[in-house]
């Protein structure tokens, strides 16, 4: 430490900046700008931020659930996966297994295998629409591609004949096929059969979820036509697991968002005793969350447009919860200071004074918080880098745009009754006055 009391050394750059009064003057300049034209300032910043909020809305469900997408390019599993994709379709990384359960059918019987053949044929006929590359089943154990059918025909030809040896080969081949595609454990056993679907897309991407859903819908149409009785469909594999994770996280996200917004709003109302203003504070922080999501999506897409599959699914939930908490802390501090200043001056001047007196403190806290979150970007996992960038940017956005501009501009417009007869309903504390030429002159902040 230097010879100056406190945590800032007198010889440090930060100390010299603080002693020069540059920060205080900058907040006074901003307060004067808000006093001069709050509506124009508010509109310009909202218009500049809205495109990124729209990006977040339209790409809200474009998330990455893959494990490999988080790993660095030099990881062995990533290198191996890329090598596999050079020689085989991406869907071969993880085929989807469809289990069909029908208590009325015995899938070991030849006539039941013929029914599975009809189901496979009809499904394969829609392969382009469904994004399918190949289908494996008890009727097509080597697949339905020309190469697979040719190989199967060759094996069948080798096992043809009327001799005992040929019959034994056919029986052994059939046993291996049934062992692979028909259940063995009681009580279901022969009432369960398996169909393997290979899709075009990487099984760990969100696009594969849509392909799986389309295939399941097609099966729900085909099965009642081809198989008697009730057939239950079960899906497993990487894509099915990701789909279930997406359903769970989407449901949890809605629940968390609702509880956080309602809970924080009630706390704001209890502390500030201003329901309308508290609602605006919630809206601004939620808006900054959407803008942050949009900016983060744009930045990481620009860094790797070809391989960008979306933000990691964990970013959305953690970012929302943390930004709402931090943003409302800053807003409570600002609005509480406004109430203190209102005891000695006019409503508009109290807003501007509170801005200048809390600006340096909140901005310093924002810098420290953003710097802390930036440390997450030093990690090698892509999801951690995305979360670190999003948290740092979101805190800075809230610290230097939402709290010092969007909130004060709105409060000044409110106290000047820009919203007419609705101003009191929206939280204005002053009575409306006739507008004169000098009624909205900029205030001088002392």
Residue 136 confidence (pLDDT): 94
Residue 13 confidence (pLDDT): 57
Residues 412, 35 contacting (CB under 8 angstroms): yes
Residue 216 confidence (pLDDT): 93
* pLDDT, average across residues 412-422: 85
Does residue 21 belong to any structural domain of this protein? yes
Does residue 7 belong to any structural domain of this protein? no
Non-local CB neighbours of 201 within 8 Å, separated by 6+ positions:
90, 91, 131, 207, 208, 211
206 and 123 belong to one structural domain: yes
* pLDDT, average across residues 231-245: 90
* pLDDT, average across residues 232-261: 90
Does residue 397 belong to any structural domain of this protein? yes
Residue 435 confidence (pLDDT): 45
Query: Residue 314 and residue 210: Cα distance in Å, rounded?
Result: 20
Residues 19, 8 contacting (CB under 8 angstroms): no
Residue 444 confidence (pLDDT): 52
pLDDT tops 60 at residue 443? no
pLDDT tops 50 at residue 4? no
Residue 78 confidence (pLDDT): 76
3-state secondary structure of 343: coil
278 and 321 belong to one structural domain: yes
Residue 204 confidence (pLDDT): 78
Does residue 78 belong to any structural domain of this protein? no
163 and 302 belong to one structural domain: no
pLDDT tens figures, 172-210:
888 888 888 888 888 878 889 999 999 988 887 778 888
Residue-number span of the structural domain to which 387 is assigned:
13-73+248-422
Query: Residue 90 and residue 289: Cα distance in Å, rounded?
Result: 34
- CATH number for the domain spanning 229: value is 3.30.70
Query: Residue 309 and residue 300: Cα distance in Å, rounded?
Result: 10
135 and 196 belong to one structural domain: yes
300 and 388 belong to one structural domain: yes
Does residue 185 belong to any structural domain of this protein? yes
Show which of 236, 264, 282 is a domain's final residue. 236
Query: Residue 117 and residue 230: Cα distance in Å, rounded?
Result: 18
pLDDT tops 60 at residue 10? no
User: Quick one: pLDDT band at residue 436, thresholds 50, 70, 90?
Assistant: very low
What total number of domains does the chain contain? 2
* pLDDT, average across residues 320-339: 87
Neighbours of 131 (CB within 10 A): 20
30 and 56 belong to one structural domain: yes
pLDDT tens figures, 369-412:
999 999 999 888 888 999 999 999 999 999 999 999 999 999 99
């Amino acid at each position: 430490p230097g010879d100056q009391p406190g945590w800032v050394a007198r010889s440090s750059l930060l100390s010299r900046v603080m002693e020069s009064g540059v920060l205080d003057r900058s907040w006074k300049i901003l307060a004067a700008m808000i006093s001069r034209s709050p509506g124009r300032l508010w509109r310009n910043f909202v218009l500049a931020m809205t495109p990124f909020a729209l990006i977040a809305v339209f790409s809200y469900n474009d998330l990455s659930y893959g494990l490999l997408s988080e790993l660095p390019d030099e990881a062995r599993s990533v290198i191996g996966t890329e090598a596999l994709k050079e020689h085989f379709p991406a869907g071969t990384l993880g085929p989807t297994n469809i289990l069909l359960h029908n208590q009325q059918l015995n899938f070991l019987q030849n006539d039941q295998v013929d029914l599975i053949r009809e189901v496979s044929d009809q499904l394969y006929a829609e392969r382009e629409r469904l994004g399918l590359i190949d289908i494996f089943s008890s009727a097509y154990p080597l697949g339905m591609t020309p190469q697979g059918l040719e190989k199967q025909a060759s094996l069948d030809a080798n096992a043809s004949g009327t001799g005992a040896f040929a019959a034994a080969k056919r029986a052994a081949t059939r046993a291996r096929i049934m062992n692979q595609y028909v259940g063995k454990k009681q009580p279901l056993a022969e009432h369960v059969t398996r169909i393997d679907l290979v899709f075009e897309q990487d099984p760990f991407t969100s696009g594969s979820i849509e392909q799986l859903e389309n295939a399941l819908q097609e099966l729900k149409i085909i099965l009642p036509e081809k198989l008697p009785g009730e057939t239950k469909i079960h899906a497993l594999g990487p894509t099915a697991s990701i789909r279930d994770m997406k359903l769970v996280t989407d449901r949890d996200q809605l629940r968390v968002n609702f509880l956080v917004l309602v809970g924080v709003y009630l706390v704001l109302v209890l502390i500030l005793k201003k329901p309308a203003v508290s609602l605006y504070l919630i809206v601004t922080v939620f808006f900054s969350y959407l803008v942050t999501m949009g900016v983060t999506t744009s930045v990481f897409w620009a860094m790797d447009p070809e391989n960008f599959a979306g933000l990691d699914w964990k970013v959305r939930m953690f970012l929302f919860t943390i930004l709402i908490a931090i943003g409302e802390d800053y807003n409570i501090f600002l609005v509480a200071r406004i109430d203190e200043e209102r005891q000695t001056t006019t409503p508009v001047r109290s807003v501007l004074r509170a801005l200048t007196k809390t600006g340096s403190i909140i901005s310093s806290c924002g810098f420290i918080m953003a710097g802390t979150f930036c440390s997450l970007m030093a990690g090698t996992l892509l999801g951690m880098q995305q979360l670190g960038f999003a948290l740092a940017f979101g805190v800075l956005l809230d610290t230097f745009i939402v709290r010092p501009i969007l909130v004060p501009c709105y409060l000044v417009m409110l106290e000047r009754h820009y919203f007419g007869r609705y101003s009191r309903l929206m939280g204005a504390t002053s009575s409306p006055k006739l507008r004169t030429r000098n009624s909205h002159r900029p205030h001088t902040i002392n």
